[in-house]
C-alpha cells in the first residue's frame, strides 16, 4: 500500500509539473523547437530543472536501497549505437510534429480531446512496432 501511495504522489507531482511548466501545451513546445522562428526559450529552464536534480539523484543512489524495496536501476551505458540514434531521431520528429512526448501526452488525454487520443494511439502503435523495427535494423547493421 505504501508503494502505491508513493507512486500516486510521484505521478501526481510529475503530471502537475508538466502542466505548470507548459510541457502539455503543444504550441509552447513547438515554440521551443522553432529556433529559427519565434523561439521560446522558457522550456530550457524546465529541462534544467529536471536534468540537474536527476544528475544529483544518480550520485546519491550509489550503494543505497529505495525506501519501498527493489534496487535502483544502473545508469545506462554511454554508448551510441544505431538503436539509440534511430530512436532519438524518431522521438524528436514526433515531438516536433505533435508538440507532445509520452509523459505530456498521457497528461493531455483528459483535456486534449480527439487529438490527444489520436496521438496516444499512434504512440502505442509505435511502441508495438519498435521491437520489430529494432530487429530489422539489427539484421541490417550485422550485414554491413
CA 31 to chain centre: 18
For residue 111, give the DSSP letter. T
Q: Examine the pLDDT at 36 and tell me if it is beyond 80.
A: yes
Local confidence band at 73 (pLDDT 50, 70, 90 cut-offs):
confident
Grid coordinates in use for 10?
510521484
For residue 100, give the DSSP letter. -
Considering only residues 111 and 42, tell me which one the structure prediction assigns the higher pLDDT.
42
- 136 by DSSP, 3-state: which? helix
**Structurally, how many domains does the chain consist of?**
1
Cβ neighbours of residue 130 closer than 8 Å, sequence gap 6 or more: 87
Q: What is the pLDDT of residue 123?
A: 85
For residue 73, give the DSSP letter. P
Q: What is the pLDDT of residue 93?
A: 84
- 36 by DSSP, 3-state: which? coil
How many angstroms separate the CA atoms of 5 and 71, rounded?
18
H or E stretch covering 32: helix 26-33
Q: What is the pLDDT of residues 17-28, one digit of tens each?
A: 888 887 788 888
Average pLDDT, the chain: 83
pTM of the model: 0.63
How many angstroms separate the CA atoms of 89 and 44, rounded?
20
Considering only residues 108 and 38, tell me which one the structure prediction assigns the higher pLDDT.
38
Q: What is the pLDDT of residues 112-139, one digit of tens each?
A: 778 778 888 888 888 898 888 888 888 8
Query: Of 115, 142, 87, 85, which is closest to residue 25 (Cα–Cα)?
Result: 115
Domain extent at residue 32: 2-143
Amino acid at each position: 500500500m505504501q508503494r502505491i501511495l508513493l507512486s500516486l504522489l510521484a505521478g501526481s507531482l510529475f503530471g502537475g509539473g508538466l502542466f505548470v511548466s507548459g510541457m502539455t501545451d503543444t504550441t509552447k513546445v513547438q515554440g521551443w523547437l522553432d529556433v529559427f522562428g519565434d523561439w521560446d526559450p522558457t522550456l530550457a529552464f524546465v529541462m534544467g530543472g529536471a536534468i540537474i536534480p536527476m544528475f544529483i539523484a544518480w550520485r546519491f543512489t550509489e550503494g543505497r536501497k529505495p525506501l519501498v524495496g527493489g534496487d535502483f536501476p544502473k545508469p545506462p551505458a554511454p554508448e551510441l549505437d544505431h538503436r539509440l540514434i534511430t530512436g532519438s531521431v524518431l522521438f524528436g520528429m514526433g515531438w516536433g510534429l505533435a508538440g507532445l512526448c509520452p509523459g505530456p501526452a498521457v497528461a493531455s488525454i483528459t483535456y486534449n480531446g480527439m487529438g490527444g487520443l489520436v496521438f496516444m494511439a499512434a504512440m502505442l502503435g509505435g511502441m508495438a512496432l519498435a521491437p520489430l523495427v529494432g530487429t530489422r535494423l539489427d539484421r541490417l547493421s550485422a550485414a554491413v
